[in-house]
Amino acid sequence: MTASPIRTERHDDVLVIISNNPPVNALGAAVRTGLKAGLEEGLADAGIKAMVIRCDGRTFFAGADITEFGKPMQGPGLGEVIDAIEASDKPVVAAIHGTALGGGCEVTLGCHYRVAVPSAKIGTPEVKLGLLPGAGGTQRIPRIAGVKLALQMTAVGDPISAKAAQAAGLIDRIVGEDSLEANAIAFAREVAGIRPLPRAREKSVQADEAAVAEFKQANARKFRGFDAPAANIACVEKAASGATFDEGIAFERQEFMKLMMGTQSAAQRHLFFAERQAAKVDDIPADTQLRPIKKVGVIGAGTMGGGISMNFLAAGIPVTIVETAQEALDRGTGVIRKNYENSAKKGRYTTEKVEGMMGLLSPTLDLQQLADCDLIIEAIYENMDVKKELFGKLDQIAKPGAILASNTSYLNIDEMAAVTSRPGDVIGMHFFSPANVMKLLEVVRGAKTSPDVLATVMALAKPIGKVAVVSGVCPGFIGNRMLSQRQGPANKMLMQGARPEQIDKALTDFGFPMGPFQMGDLAGVDIGWHRDPTRIESIRDALAAKGRWGQKTGKGWYDYDEKRTPTPSPEVAEIIEDFRSKSNLPKQDFSDEDVIAATLYPMVNEGAKILEEGMAQRASDIDVVWIYGYGWPIYRGGPMFWANTVGLDKVVAGLEKNGVEVAPLLRRKAEAGEKF
């Protein structure tokens, strides 16, 4: 029999129950069983007056054991253990360090008292996995700390500091950072004789309808499409409705099971694991020696170059930024400062921090200044000849062992590497715009990129706040290659009688932040246009020829007012009808489902080709790209996960109906009844 992760230590009249279940003391079956046994030991011993629950390692219980999800329940349920703690007739004190999250937070709420070190955090982030705290959290938090904080903690899910928790009554005392156990034992002795014991279930909740209404309104945009926030809110409302604690718990259980069995939570849990999986490169050993990155060079101070630089500066890594003209350099550094200052106004940075970050930035017009950089990223415009010329120069300037990276979004990395004497040092680092905000980093592995270069760049993603996914070299890599499959069918539907606003609405109702035509207006209708107003071969050509270049000119696929609010354009409707009438395509009506099938199934199909060609390591990597780079709705888990929920046979049938050639891998999986 393996040793229990829970042990007990007796300190005269106080029993300390200790968990040692690395890395985060997850509340698995063995931990729950041990906690219950420890509690029973303390209750059975007449010499014990109070108990303390604490954890070894870097943190208090940081949540449930996610690997148990969807499997049959072993040992006592967490709710049962927490109820037993709360029912104890001897005081139980939670001693918190690190993070008490999810089930860990719920354990503390079942204890009669809570003490914490100043650096501790407490919270219920289950909503981020499409769930709710299902062991009494939605009922105990409002009873201890009130409705307003309970809504914030459960439905938004961000943890709060020990100080904020103490102010709300969730923590009784903040103790010494290095003397948690001794202080907790002393506190337990202080409260040993106090009766009645404070039990959360016995407290009543003050209803606060105004707080609920205000909270719903403030978060309406953020919660759109998600099931879990609404369920968390409903549970807190139930606690405040005058229901008994047991009625509230029954309601919480029912809502928890609904979420647990639904596709949204499955999608959000899939993403949780997918994100961690994406960081692993299958054929590179975990112990690969990384190259040190102490200084970074960025070429180009435009929107991309500036945004890329901000990631490194915020991580405390010095950046040398290069431009060809002083004016462009000044403008670029000015924008970086302005962005930081705006964040400071919102309280994200102190003024000192802004000055510190700006102090790490060295603007220059001289490429030679990059000679001592460990990593150089070019963010100049998308032109292969210009990029190749630049890589040739960098080959002469950069020190041996420096990594040379391109921020290209679709050009061939191998061609750039071929003009250098060190193709092993060349890699693609495709940031997404705005680069200081978007979390995705597509890391493009060239044919000759050396393993330690790839491992270094993948490891660098975390400190600069990015989620990295490896792609092979192919036009558009993973994301843009799939995106290109969406626009064609959208344009074709216009020629068959659909309207831009109808197509966009179907996709925003699906959960995208914007549809393809809204996105075209944001990016610029003239991007990639041949610039000849007399050559009109497509609807887009006709719009561009009339100066309808999108939001920047106040009109594109839509008309815009001064607040950039779009309204359908009669002029565009006329242009589309003119094109449609000249084509021989019959007019038809499209349902939202038709729009989804026509625009999204081809993307899944392309994803299958990407997997078959080995351009992505795994289907879940593709999902990560689309969620963090292109606004695919999180609660749908990414295109490949979503295709599984739709049914691959249905996707194949839809593609065939629309005359799209089905990828062999997709067809094989559909016929075998398999999933991605």
List, as one string, the DSSP characters of 431-476.
Answer: E-SSTTT--EEEEE--TT--HHHHHHHHHHHTTTT-EEEEE-SSTT
Give residue 26's pLDDT: 96
Instruction: Decide: 504 and 493 in contact? Cβ < 8 Å.
Output: no
**CA–CA gap between residue 289 and residue 291 (Å, rounded):** 7
**CA distances (Å), origin 671, targets 608, 619, 646, 666, 675:** 14, 18, 15, 9, 10
Catalytic residue positions? 106, 126
Strand order in the sheet with 99-101: 99-101, 121-123, 160-161
- Within 10 A of 653 (CB to CB), how many other CB atoms are there? 15
Helix-helix angle 263-278:639-646, to 10 degrees: 140
Residue-wise over 366-405: b if at least 16 C-beta within 10 A, else e?
ebebbeebbbbbbbbeeeeeebbebbeebbebbeeebbbb
Lookup: tokens for 43: 């209750």
**Length of the chain counted residue by residue:** 676
CA neighbor of 116 nearest in space, from 157, 60, 68: 60
Amino acid at 378: E
Alpha helices in 130-197 (DSSP H): 137-145, 147-151, 162-168, 180-191
CB burial string 612-624: b at 16+ within 10 A, e below: eeebbbbbbbbbb
List CB contacts of 636: < 8 A, sequence separation 6 or more: 263, 264, 267, 510, 511, 642, 645
Mean pLDDT per 10-residue run, the chain (676 residues)?
Answer: 90 98 96 98 98 98 85 92 98 98 98 98 97 98 97 98 98 98 98 97 94 97 97 98 97 97 96 95 94 98 96 98 97 97 94 96 98 97 95 98 96 98 98 94 98 98 98 97 94 95 98 95 91 93 96 96 95 94 89 98 98 98 97 97 98 97 98 96
| pLDDT number for residue 232 | 98
Within 8 A by CB and 6+ apart from 314, the residues are 357, 436, 464, 465
Strands 319-322 and 361-364: parallel
- Tokens representing residue 446 in the block: 């060239």
For residues 15 and 172, give the distance between their C-alpha atoms in angstroms, rounded to a whole number: 20
Token pair 């392309």 is found at: 606
Distance CA 153, CA 164 (A): 12
Strand order in the sheet with 6-11: 6-11, 14-19, 50-55, 92-96, 113-116, 173-174
- Helix or strand holding residue 560 (H, E): strand 558-560
Which helix H or strand E contains 322, and what residues bound it? strand 319-322
Query: Are the C-beta atoms of residues 74 and 34 closer than 8 Å to each other?
Result: no
Residue 545 CA to its chain's centroid (Å) = 40
How far apart CA 453 and CA 413 sit, in angstroms, is 14
- CA–CA separation, 624 and 637 (whole Å): 8
Return d(Cα 215, Cα 514) in angstroms, integer: 25
Ramachandran category for residue 150: left, alpha or beta (phi over 0 → left; psi -120 to 50 → alpha): alpha
Q: In the β-sheet with 467-471, what is the strand arrangement from edge to edge? A: 361-364, 319-322, 296-299, 375-378, 403-406, 426-431, 440-444, 467-471
Structure confidence at residue 1 (pLDDT):
59
Phi, psi (rounded to 5 degrees) for 94: -90, 130
Q: Would you call 404 helix, strand, or coil by DSSP?
A: strand
Helix H or strand E encompassing 49? none
Q: At what angle do helices 137-145 and 103-110 cross, to 10 degrees?
A: 50
User: Across the strands, what pairs with 10?
Assistant: 15
pLDDT at 531: 92
- Asked if 529 contacts 540 with a C-beta cutoff of 8 angstroms, the reply is yes
- Please, are residues 323 and 301 in contact by the beta-carbon 8 Å criterion? yes
Check: CB of residue 165 under 8 Å from CB of residue 125: no
Distance separating the N- and C-terminal Cα atoms of the chain: 38
Smallest CA-to-CA distance from 240 within 138, 111, 106, 160 is with 138
Q: With CA atoms as reference, report the closest residue to 270 among 24, 639, 651.
A: 639
Token duo for residue 522: 């944001």
